[in-house]
Amino acid sequence: MLISEIIRAKRDGDTLNADQIAAMVEGISTGAASEGQVAAFAMAVFFRGMDHAEAAALTLAMRDSGDVFAWDLPGPVIDKHSTGGVGDNVSLMLAPIVAASGGYVPMISGRGLGHTGGTLDKMDTIPGYVSQPSNTLFRRVVAETGCAIIGQTAALAPADKRFYGIRDVTATVESVPLITASILSKKLAAGLGGLVMDVKCGNGAFMDDLARAVELAESLTGVAREAGLACNALITDMNQPLASAAGNAVEVANAVDFLTGAHRDARLEAVTLALAGEMLALAGLAPDRAAGLKQATKALESGAAVEVFGRMVTALGGPADFVEAHASHLARAHLTRPVPAPEAGHVAAIQTRQIGLAVVELGGGRRVASDAVNPAVGLTGLVDLGVEVAKGDPLCLIHADSDEAADAAQARVLAAYSIGAAQSVPDPVIQIIA
């Protein structure tokens, strides 16, 4: 079956059958489809879409392009996935919270995509941490600590791994069927018993309005359930960064501070605990989401979650004292610079995508798939919507490796923040639970 004819059919608006989709996925995973052909297929799907059956066929074909895990553990296997945002380091806290509550979380994460940060890039900032372990090590760490946050190995959904990188640099990220298939192929390959989706909505998300976010949530839950995977979704706000930090090492530091209780951003805490409660309820570890929320809060406040996080880091090759001494282990940028507010008033709006692009311009993301990521750069102290600032007050602190990069990031940040006289009321951080 010719790859070019499959692309032509989708370009012309045809519905692809399972055999055509399987052939395309085989071409992606084996390299028989060139990078240009994969990009053309992605763009055809972006404009022509896929129906539910096509999306399910694409998901299952990508799942079956590599290994599929089966677990034999004394508790439920459950995971979460976010559709991507800015300052979204939830996974780093969520996996150990759920593990400390009796779940097993084999979290297979991706790298940064477009303007959004990637959990895998964050974990790679920890010295010695093996983010792409062997299947044997992955299984052992999950069994012994309750969770492991890793990236795709070469044998796990390899078709998606290649497709993901090409989508990142060809402006085809926002396609609902492609997002659905990418996420669920990895999660189904991980052998999960349940999945909770965090679908981001707002100007820093790939789904920029509620209708599109609902469409994606329904696609994800529908395709997952059709494949036999219990799946619920939360739609959460991304009209401002979720954490007060955006970058890789700076978000890891923010996560450790969250787990230890040194500092917790309020919106980040609300989303993390809500997702944990939903996961515990879906896994049968709590009778309902309210009880799950209480259990998750107890795991966090008791210190059980940070203990799990520390053991996971050590088991995957990171420093034994990472929690206590993370500041000395994480890379630091050569310079820091505050971004002064140009006028007094309240933060009326934040163009969150621009904040993410500021991190990319600093070197904390990728312009092309082959780019290396600078772990040290980013933004901290990001001021929330509605906060009152005086002229000259810092809107954030830039962590950069050159004055030129800091200048470019500062221009992005200043363009992203709107300051007005009246205090605005931010949208609720949790908008819909489905």
Vertex 171: Cα angle to 169 and 173 (nearest 5): 95
- Is position 79 annotated as part of the catalytic site? yes
Residue 368 identity: V
Say which of 10, 81, 267, 399 is annotated catalytic: 81
* Per-residue confidence band for 116, with pLDDT thresholds at 50, 70 and 90: low
- Is position 272 annotated as part of the catalytic site? no
| Model confidence pLDDT, tens digit, residues 17-59 | 999 999 999 999 999 999 999 999 999 999 999 998 899 999 9
Per-residue pLDDT, 67: 87
Say which of 119, 125, 172, 180 is annotated catalytic: 119
Per-residue pLDDT, 240: 96
Per-residue pLDDT, 165: 84
SS (H, E, C) 254-267: HHHHHHHCCCCCHH
Query: At 210, is the secondary structure helix, strand, or coil?
Result: helix
Residue 432 burial (CB count, 10 A): 15
Say which of 80, 161, 289, 412 is annotated catalytic: 80
Per-residue pLDDT, 269: 98
| Model confidence pLDDT, tens digit, residues 205-235 | 988 889 999 999 999 999 998 888 999 999 9
In contact, 390 and 373? CB cutoff 8 Å: no
Greater confidence (151 vs 98) lies with 98
* Helix (DSSP H) and strand (DSSP E) numbers for the chain: 17, 13
pLDDT at 434 exceeding the cut of 70 = no
How large is the average pLDDT for residues 190-197? 94
- Is position 402 annotated as part of the catalytic site? no
* Per-residue confidence band for 282, with pLDDT thresholds at 50, 70 and 90: very high
Per-residue pLDDT, 364: 83
Residue 281 identity: A
Residue matched to tokens 């946050």:
149
Say which of 82, 83, 116, 185 is annotated catalytic: 82
- Is position 200 annotated as part of the catalytic site? no
pTM (two decimals): 0.88
| Model confidence pLDDT, tens digit, residues 397-429 | 999 999 999 999 999 999 999 999 877 778 889
Q: Which domains does the chain have, with CATH numbers?
A: 3-49 (1.20.970.10), 78-327 (3.40.1030.10), 335-420 (3.90.1170.30)
Considering the chain, what is the average pLDDT of its residues? 93
- Is position 119 annotated as part of the catalytic site? yes
Sheet with strand 345-350: strands edge to edge: 388-389, 345-350, 417-420
Ramachandran angles phi, psi of 244, nearest 5°: -85, 5
Per-residue pLDDT, 111: 67
| Model confidence pLDDT, tens digit, residues 339-359 | 999 999 999 999 999 999 999
Say which of 29, 65, 79, 265 is annotated catalytic: 79
pLDDT at 155 exceeding the cut of 80 = no
- Is position 326 annotated as part of the catalytic site? no
**Lowest-pLDDT choice from 69-73, 189-193, 358-362, 370-374:** 370-374
The span from the CA of 355 to the CA of 116, in Å, is: 9
- Is position 337 annotated as part of the catalytic site? no
| Model confidence pLDDT, tens digit, residues 67-94 | 898 999 999 999 999 988 899 999 999 9
Residue matched to tokens 């945002």:
85
Say which of 161, 167, 264, 353 is annotated catalytic: 167
Say which of 10, 111, 122, 186 is annotated catalytic: 186
- Is position 10 annotated as part of the catalytic site? no
Say which of 63, 187, 200, 353 is annotated catalytic: 187
Residue 374 burial (CB count, 10 A): 22
Per-residue pLDDT, 369: 59
- Is position 187 annotated as part of the catalytic site? yes
